[in-house]
Amino acid sequence: MKLAVQITLAGFLLLLPLLLLPGAPSLMAAEVLAGIKGADDRLTMVSNEYPWSAVGRINTETGGHCSGVLIGPKVAITAAHCLYDKRKKWFVPPSQVHFVAGYFRKDDEYTGGEVVYQDTEYVGHSTAQSYFIPDAYEEGVPPTGEIAVNDWAFIMLNDDIGTLSGWFGVEPMDRASLQRFLEMRTPFVQAGYSKDKKQELTAHINCPFEGFAKGLPLAVHRCDAVPGDSGSPIFYFKDGLPVLVAIHVATTRQQQPVRGIAVPTATFMDGVRELKLGKPGVPLSADLMPLETARTLLAYLGHAGGGTLDGAVRRFQESEGMETTGEISYRLIGRLVTTMARGR
């Protein structure tokens, strides 16, 4: 795999009219069409706690934002169309691409006459050193499903921010493995920086896959991914740690209810292996332990009860037949997500 910036393409991926989905002949890139599938199931997560801290905003100095995820200390993945400036008709130079991990803005503060906007905060920030886009990806031409298949990009960062934020593992997902996931009723999670909530990270827990597009290696899902969520990870928890299986890149335009389209990890797994990545990495600091994440999920499941956090954890562990330690762990978060999925 050649790690270099591709600068020979032109245009902006807005429509994918030839994508062959049953009952859905066309797509619109996630930057254009809202993608709430029925009720809005997104929850605001504490983005400075792992695993959410590994999800970041992709900001370009020419404007706009997408989502992405770290898959190594200095490597992120996002949608290829996020790196293209349709006004200038060029791919944004790497030095103007920013990955902001664990981004959030403090709540606006009312001071009795004016709203004071608090400073933004994040776990880690780096500009890109370079990025890789598949040669088969095209801009400025009539879009097709084949182009959507290649709508992904590796971003090589200048700084090692993954040791601060942690990163996701990556496992190949293809048609056969997705079928096994569906048979096991594996709960998936999508997380990103939606346009309507761009200052906070939201997650759709237990967002379902429906299968693959007809004749194309594209996964069809019902995650509540909207503008701004392009490049956002879809993942599951394995032994309590996040494992990436796809990235969201587009939303159907004509089918109602709408469907999301994702590039499965099998598409770019060769590159992951060449970079010697694939295993998840937890943050070095214990400060990013998911305490507030546990509190949020426990409250959703009805285990808060106004008592202490460790008491709520114990009640949950007892109800699940787990060892009652009262301790917060990554494995606990995975179990909470699985339990939430069972209840939906």
Residue 142 has pLDDT above 70, yes or no: no
What does the pLDDT look like over 208-263, one tens digit per residue?
Answer: 999 999 899 999 998 988 788 999 999 999 988 999 999 999 887 666 677 889 99
The CATH H-level superfamily of 27-274 is Trypsin-like serine proteases (2.40.10.10)
- Percentage of the chain lying above the pLDDT 90 cut: 57
- Token couple for 201: 């990270």
Is residue 161 very low, low, confident or very high in pLDDT (cuts 50, 70, 90)? very high
The residue written with tokens 């032109």 in the block is: 10
Contact call for residues 273 and 172 (beta carbons, < 8 A):
no
The pLDDT score that the predictor gives to residue 5 is 33
Q: Is 303 helix (H, G, I), strand (E, B) or coil?
A: coil
- Token couple for 117: 């906007």
What does the pLDDT look like over 28-56, one tens digit per residue?
Answer: 544 434 566 667 778 888 899 999 999 99
Residue 113 has pLDDT above 60, yes or no: no
Which has more pLDDT, 245 or 146? Answer: 245
Residue 135 has pLDDT above 60, yes or no: yes
Alpha-carbon span 35 to 97, nearest angstrom? 25
First-residue to last-residue Cα distance in the chain: 41
Residue 59 has pLDDT above 60, yes or no: yes
pTM for the complete prediction? Answer: 0.85
Alpha-carbon span 236 to 341, nearest angstrom? 11
- Residues ≥6 apart with Cβ < 8 Å to 70: 54, 55, 56, 76, 99, 101, 161, 162, 165, 166, 167, 168
- Percentage of the chain lying above the pLDDT 70 cut: 81
- Token couple for 244: 């990436």
| DSSP-assigned letter for residue 254 | S
Rounded to 5 degrees, φ, ψ at 132 are: -120, 130
Contact call for residues 73 and 17 (beta carbons, < 8 A):
no
Is residue 24 very low, low, confident or very high in pLDDT (cuts 50, 70, 90)? very low
Q: Domain boundaries in the chain?
A: 27-274, 286-342
Average pLDDT, the chain: 83
Alpha-carbon span 25 to 252, nearest angstrom? 8
Residue 144 has pLDDT above 80, yes or no: no
Cα R_g (the chain), whole angstroms: 19
Is residue 304 very low, low, confident or very high in pLDDT (cuts 50, 70, 90)? confident
Ranking 4-18, 152-166, 177-191, 289-303 by mean pLDDT, the lowest is 4-18
What does the pLDDT look like over 177-223, one tens digit per residue?
Answer: 999 999 999 999 999 998 877 678 999 998 899 999 989 999 999 89
The pLDDT score that the predictor gives to residue 39 is 76
Which has more pLDDT, 242 or 87? Answer: 242
Alpha-carbon span 291 to 305, nearest angstrom? 16
The pLDDT score that the predictor gives to residue 258 is 79
- Token couple for 152: 């992904």
The pLDDT score that the predictor gives to residue 173 is 97
